[in-house]
A and B are shown apart, each in its own frame.
Chain A
Amino acid sequence: MAIPKRKNNIKVYQGNELMGRRQELLDKITQGDSYLPDSVLHDDLDLGMLDFVKKNFVVVSDGVQIPIIPKILTLQRWGEFTNTWNFSDLDGNPSIPFISVIRKPDVQLGTNPSLQRTIPDRQQFHYATVPTWNGTQVGADIYKIPQPVPIDISYDITIVCTKFRDLNKFNQIILQKFTSRQAYTTVKGHYVPIVLDSIEDNTPVNLETRRFYVQNYKFTLLGFIIDDEEFEVKPAVSRLFLMNEFIKSNNFEKKYLTKNLEITVVNFTADGVQTIFSVGETIGILFNTTINGLLQERGVEFNHVSLTSKISFVEPPREGSNVTITYYKGRSSVFIDSHGNVRQVSTEYFDYSGGGLSFTTVNNIDSVISLDLNGLLLEEGSDFDITGGTEVTLNGTPRIGSRIGITYLF
């Protein structure tokens, strides 16, 4: 007999549903405006339990809902009185039937399996990286929180009534709710499990006393404490000073210039053999490369593959030459200036053949980063001026055949 065909690759979840659901849960937790979860303390968990009881344990007897004492009863007598007066009899006693929620004062360390294995020393863990803006600079803050503290809170939910049918209704609700041992309440967006521990009957059966039923349902809320006093907010690293030391006499110096954008300038001392120079990080935008102050032309004297860290010269620079690489680090060839505008860099070359001293660029010039004449840098204001949106004019006449390179932002 042939083996029946089986489908063994059933997709329970389509696409990214789980990630979406996780994000939804996270959004619930951080629905405030702080990027961080709100504190969850004892009173929040107690309120969660109360809400759970009020919402789910609704028993109607003789057409009227059995009142639930709206607060958790403690030792203070007046507190008990103020929560029972509205359904008390002429003697001031709470009228039967009613339901009460009593919390055991002792809260134990938690037994929730998902939180039981703890990491010692209350170590802080990364929770979120939040962007900041101080008016001139985009930065980030790192939000760190420790592992929540698991706690178990025990509750006694007691029904006091005089009718067996009320007991049945209450019992039915609870057994249906806790068929799978646990049910959940929501505390500030967190789903907190509640476990039904036991059901006991404490009915005092005596011939010569008033008669009523007292049934006690013991629950344990498997909660956790999140205390915002333990949260830590630190600014992320916005600038970094890196120093590399080479065993060979290959001096490598790196310094950072803080302008509207952070430009990195790296200096190497050539050994006469080396053709490839690495800055050790991704070059987002390469502004220029010079050897002993002479600008080198990309694609002619050197090559650079975009978004890599290396400059490869066609010929090794002479020994002792100073190789300078100026760049903007990052994983993108665009950046945002201090006004929030997206900027790009372009380098264009012009060959002077006599005539006018103005050169027109392809894009509108935001600012000139460098202008070189045959590899020698010129100074804006004295050697050249920006005379239009796309025009640069030299203030002196170069030799015919000179090559002018303009690197600019647009």
Chain B
Amino acid sequence: MSKKLPIKRMSKFFSEEDFDFNVQIGQEYLHGDLNMKLVLYRVDTESTDTDAVYAEVGKDQIKFFPPIEFNALVKIEPPKNESYKPGLVRYIEPGNMTVSVYISHLQDLGVDIKYGDFIAYPETEDKVRYYTVSNDGKVTSDNRHNMFGFKPHYRTITCVPAQESEFRGI
């Protein structure tokens, strides 16, 4: 059994109840008012057949656990005009997606978001863009992720666009 250490800092001004209350208000706004939904595809690393030497997979060969819908604050960067060769074979690179998700929400769902998992974000009714997690934001020790220095309450997850040959939700 893991050892639990009660957090008593700033107890004159801020308590566990205050923390929960603030999180509750935030979730009500995020989940209720904004209602921004995403779908998490967690890669099943056990079932996915990988290359014996390079540990790569082919198209549509990634196995994943049942997708889970979750709420988060989404920020998508503007796309960049790029080219594979200097000035030639141009492509437009969709911006990265930054997802801010309450830790308690993930705990309620009983899931974790890991490096390499895929997240679907429905841009329109008929267009879903897939991203892969490039930073799962598990380290939340910084002040920004701590509520008044009391406890971390959310994770910032950075995702980069997944290419169709890599993952397309099938």
Q: Is this pair of chains taken from one and the same complex?
A: yes
Interface residues of A (CB under 8 A from B): 61-62, 69, 73, 75, 77, 80, 84, 89-97, 100, 102, 156, 158, 160, 162-165, 207-212, 214, 216
Q: Which residues of B contact A95 (CB under 8 A)?
A: 163-165
Q: Which of B3-11, B83-91, B106-114 contacts A (4 or more CB under 8 A)?
A: B83-91
Contact A163-B56, Cβ < 8 Å, known A73-B88, A96-B163, A210-B163? yes
- A208 close to B158 (CB less than 8 A): yes
Chain B minimum-CB-distance residue to A212: B163
Knowing that A100-B85, A156-B85 are A-B contacts, what are 9 other residue pairs whose CB atoms are under 8 Å apart, sorted by A's residue number? A62-B59, A80-B88, A89-B163, A93-B91, A95-B165, A96-B163, A102-B88, A208-B96, A209-B160
- B92 close to A100 (CB less than 8 A): no
Shortest C-beta distance, B107 to chain A (Å), equals: 27
**Other-chain contact of B56, A96, A102, A165 (Cβ < 8 Å):** A165
* Number of A-B residue pairs having CB atoms within 8 Å of each other in the complex: 76
- B164 close to A89 (CB less than 8 A): yes
Nearest 9 Cβ contacts at the A-B interface: A93-B91, A164-B54, A62-B58, A62-B59, A160-B84, A73-B88, A89-B164, A163-B56, A210-B160
Shortest C-beta distance, A211 to chain B (Å), equals: 8
- A162 close to B85 (CB less than 8 A): no
Chain A minimum-CB-distance residue to B61: A62
Q: Which residues of A contact B165 (CB under 8 A)?
A: 95-97, 162
Interface of A is mostly: loop
In the complex, whether B134 has a CB less than 8 A from a CB of chain A is yes
Contact A90-B127, Cβ < 8 Å, known A100-B89, A208-B158? yes
- How far, in angstroms, from A96 to B165 measured CA to CA in the complex? 7
Q: Which residues of A contact B96 (CB under 8 A)?
A: 208-209
Q: Which residues of A contact B17 (CB under 8 A)?
A: none
- A92 close to B92 (CB less than 8 A): yes
Shortest C-beta distance, A214 to chain B (Å), equals: 6
0/1 per residue, B150-170, Cβ < 8 Å to A? 000000001011111110000
- How far, in angstroms, from A84 to B87 measured CA to CA in the complex? 15
- A207 close to B89 (CB less than 8 A): no
- How far, in angstroms, from A179 to B88 measured CA to CA in the complex? 30
Q: Which residues of A contact B54 (CB under 8 A)?
A: 163-165
- B91 close to A94 (CB less than 8 A): yes
- B58 close to A163 (CB less than 8 A): yes
Contact A93-B85, Cβ < 8 Å, known A162-B165, A165-B54? no
- How far, in angstroms, from A160 to B58 measured CA to CA in the complex? 15
